[in-house]
Amino acid sequence: MIDDTPVFWSAPYQKEILAKIVEVNENELRFNQALFYPSGGGQPHDLGTMRYQGCTLPIIEVYTVDREIWHKTDSKEKIDFQVDEDVQLELNWNHRYNLMKSHTAQHLLSYFLQEMYECETIKANFDEGKIEIEISKALNLSDVVRVLEESNNRLEEDADVKSIIVNQKTFQEEYKSKIRGKTSDEKRVRMIQLGDFDLVCCGGVHVKKLSEVRGIFLETVKNRVIKLYTGEKGINYTNRQRANLHALEEITEKKDSKLFELVKNKLKENENLEEGNILLLRFLFQKIHHWSEKIQNYSVTLLDIPTLDRITVQAALKEVEEEIFIAITGKNAILYLISTNERIKANEVIDKIKEKTRAKGGGNKGFAQMSVKDIEEPLQLVREVLSSL
Ligand SMILES: [Zn+2]
């Protein structure tokens, strides 16, 4: 009997192998050994090279057709591949090993998602050092963090990751009832067991020991999709995020025109991102005194943000700091005046502008607006009015 167990199942740490060509279709080849994992199950295919008659050629795609694994190679000149000839296959090990780590990490996360929140894994995608898991119900951030804590603790315990291959009959009799998730109706069933706690049907590639994953790190949780990093990628990502946060903390403690410009420009870019703009504007309003000027003895900020609409301004209003006066020219040439300073009333400033122009508008002492279509420099006019108070 021929043992046709793929090498990526029986020996996932094997990096190279001597194989024979069994079928050729121009630059696409089939070999008698399956060293390269074909794309499938959310995992990208392996990459690597083949040495054939003294040439080293890259393997750029690996895929399955009718259960047979095909390898697409790339070469500048046309090569006449012959069936039965030897080829030396070699994996891009870094790429493969990172996928093995991410894939194993996903098993562990999916186990705890199910165990702790009865949350099923609908779909998982992997890339080098990256995981994306779609789950069956929305979890909040703190729940996901708890799943990560449990998972990372398990990595420390360093359980074995075992590959079990049985025929369908044995699977039915001994394993089927213990499987988490989907079962398999294949003639030959491949299962992956983590320690003594999790058993799933899976045809992917995995590490031998959980500790090899070296940590799972959160990127985002959004609409039932959790994005994560593993290993070095995760460590670097987390450190970078920490550094960014630190830089932001420092900047927001002082007057920094770069941050101010950045937020303002983002507001201009995000024309259709209402929610994003509200968050940005709130942020701006919370820190607005950093960027205010003194007119008379009042702290005043004058802004021109031509994409800003009334809904966004009003949604961010309650974040405005105390003792400040803000004038913004927004979308459709509307001037918004916001005051948290008892001594300057927004509607009174509007009335003063009305005396000088024919513009229409009104409001209350905290918030007022007017159309400034026909006024050339409305913010300059606000400055003049405030200076004359
Ligand atoms: Zn797997």
Q: Are strands 298-304 and 325-329 parallel, antiparallel or unpaired?
A: parallel
| pLDDT at 247 (0 to 100) | 64
In angstroms, what is the span from residue 205 Cα to ligand 1's centroid? 6
| pLDDT at 76 (0 to 100) | 80
d(CA 350, CA 335): 9
| pLDDT at 378 (0 to 100) | 94
In angstroms, what is the span from residue 97 Cα to ligand 1's centroid? 13
Closest CA to 387 of 296, 323, 294: 296
In angstroms, what is the span from residue 210 Cα to ligand 1's centroid? 13
Return the higher-pLDDT residue of 49 and 261.
Answer: 49
Give the CATH fold of the 7-91 domain.
Elongation Factor Tu (Ef-tu); domain 3 (2.40.30)
pLDDT digits (tens, 9 = 90+) for 211-236: 999 999 998 888 899 999 999 888 88
In angstroms, what is the span from residue 107 Cα to ligand 1's centroid? 6
In angstroms, what is the span from residue 12 Cα to ligand 1's centroid? 12
Closest CA to 170 of 150, 154, 184: 184
In angstroms, what is the span from residue 159 Cα to ligand 1's centroid? 15
pLDDT digits (tens, 9 = 90+) for 121-178: 999 999 889 999 999 999 988 899 999 999 999 998 889 999 999 999 999 999 999 9
pLDDT at 254 over 70: no
Q: Name the E strands within 296-343.
A: 298-304, 325-329, 334-339
In angstroms, what is the span from residue 222 Cα to ligand 1's centroid? 24
In angstroms, what is the span from residue 176 Cα to ligand 1's centroid? 16
| pLDDT at 282 (0 to 100) | 79
Quick one: what percent of the chain has pLDDT higher than 70? 93
In angstroms, what is the span from residue 191 Cα to ligand 1's centroid? 8
Cα separations (Å) of 87 from 16, 39, 54, 232, 353? 10, 21, 10, 33, 84
Distance of CA 159 to the CA centre of its chain: 28
Neighbours of ion ligand 1 (CB under 5 A): 202, 204
| pLDDT at 42 (0 to 100) | 83
In angstroms, what is the span from residue 17 Cα to ligand 1's centroid? 23
Closest CA to 126 of 93, 102, 161, 101: 102
In angstroms, what is the span from residue 192 Cα to ligand 1's centroid? 7
In angstroms, what is the span from residue 167 Cα to ligand 1's centroid? 18
In angstroms, what is the span from residue 301 Cα to ligand 1's centroid? 56
Sign of the CA dihedral with 176 first, then 179, 181, and 185 last = negative
Q: Which CATH number does 257-387 carry?
A: 3.10.310.40
pLDDT digits (tens, 9 = 90+) for 45-79: 999 999 999 999 999 999 999 989 999 999 888 89
In angstroms, what is the span from residue 4 Cα to ligand 1's centroid? 20
What is the rounded average pLDDT of the residues 352-372? Answer: 93
CATH 3.30.43.10 fits 97-240, yes or no: no
d(CA 86, CA 91): 16
Domain coordinates of the chain in residue numbers?
7-91, 97-240, 257-387
What is the rounded average pLDDT of the residues 306-332? Answer: 88
In angstroms, what is the span from residue 21 Cα to ligand 1's centroid? 28
In angstroms, what is the span from residue 229 Cα to ligand 1's centroid? 17
